[in-house]
Amino acid sequence: MARKYWIEVVMADHEGLEAAFANAPDILTTPELAERLNMTVQGVQKWLKDGVLPGYKVGRTWFVTKHDLLATFQAGANRGASGEVAVDVSEESES
């Protein structure tokens, strides 16, 4: 599933997003997140490596906090350590 699709879903319905993650643990692994986003584990890992999703890598394992994930989706952009926007959906062109 493409990133653009998820960004549109998230921007359209924040309450639906919160409901989708209501029963999620506070810290998600990539397989747990992939299942909830209907994505492959490799796709989630790529988003984490590219900075699209906020996450923490311990050894070879990525973790995502539910709080950071929801905040990123609700903001519509991912801000890196520098504070600069990594993904700006307002300027994303239609394909």
Q: For residue range 68-82, list pLDDT tens digits in order.
A: 988 887 776 445 445
Classify residue 31: in a domain, yes or no.
Answer: yes
Classify residue 34: in a domain, yes or no.
Answer: yes
Summarised one tens digit per residue, pLDDT across range 6-54 is 556 555 556 667 777 888 899 999 999 998 888 899 999 999 999 889 9
Classify residue 27: in a domain, yes or no.
Answer: yes
Report which secondary-structure segment, H or E, holds 62: strand 61-65
**Cα–Cα distance for residue pair 52/85, rounded to 1 Å:** 10
Classify residue 93: in a domain, yes or no.
Answer: no
User: For residues 76 and 10, is the Cβ–Cβ distance under 8 A?
Assistant: yes
User: For residues 63 and 55, is the Cβ–Cβ distance under 8 A?
Assistant: yes
Domain of residue 74 covers: 3-79
Classify residue 48: in a domain, yes or no.
Answer: yes
User: 56: helix, coil or strand?
Assistant: strand
Classify residue 65: in a domain, yes or no.
Answer: yes
Total number of domains in the chain: 1
CATH number of the domain encompassing residue 65: 1.10.10
Residue 63 tokens read as 């973790």
pTM of the predicted model over 0.75: no
